[in-house]
Amino acid sequence: CSPIPAGTKDDDYKRLASYLTLSQVLDPNNRVALELNYGTQEQGAFAGFANKGDATWYGTDVNWYHKLSENLMWNSRAEWFYTDAPVHVMMANIDPNTGIPDPTWGSFYGVTTNLAWTPTPNVRLRPELRYDIHSGPGRDAYADGQKDSQVVASFDVSFFF
């Protein structure tokens, strides 16, 4: 973990972000990983919306990696993340009438699954499906503050050099 300066060049606010990852190979085709995270931010930019000066966040995720073949992996992840003030998760919607941010904080849950295909060692194609839920104060986190959950489908292409 490492404190990182936050704020303007004249401020002395500190940010601490820490992560611990544990991984276990179950057999040649299966691996699981657990990640824990914790952080704080002095005088967070939007913390005042939650009647706080400093902000704290923490969470965990569990990942499962299953090798289907030499170049095809099925990966799944379940995660939970909590922030007590709108600092680490910047889901701030802007009120169209006032121009004032209307941010989100609380618990965020997510479930993700994807297939990762590497047709060559330097290229990875990955379709992914994700479901997110928000529970907490402030505005709903998704659909411009109108929904507390969302489904996201994505596709990415990665090139490795």
Q: Which pLDDT score is estimated for 33? A: 98
Mean pLDDT of 32-41: 94
Residue 40: pLDDT band with limits 50, 70, 90: confident
Structurally, the chain folds into a number of domains equal to: 1
pLDDT per position as a tens digit, 131-145: 999 998 777 888 877
Residue 34: pLDDT band with limits 50, 70, 90: very high
- Give the structural domain span for 144: 2-159
Instruction: Note whether 117 and 74 are within 8 A (CB).
Output: no
Per-chain mean pLDDT for the chain: 86
For residue 151, pLDDT over 60 is answered with yes
Residue 35: pLDDT band with limits 50, 70, 90: very high
**Among candidate residues 137, 139, 134, 136, the one with its CA nearest the CA of residue 149:** 134
Q: Which pLDDT score is estimated for 9? A: 62
Q: How many whole angstroms separate alpha carbon 121 and alpha carbon 131?
A: 29
Q: Which pLDDT score is estimated for 31? A: 98
0.85 surpassed by pTM: no
> Which comes out higher in pLDDT, residue 66 or 136?
66
Q: How many whole angstroms separate alpha carbon 93 and alpha carbon 102?
A: 5
Q: What is the CATH number of the domain that holds 68?
A: 2.40.160.40
Go through 19-54 and write b for each residue having 16 or more CB atoms within 10 A of its CB, e for each that does not: eeeeeeeeeeeebeeebebebbbbbbbbbebbebee
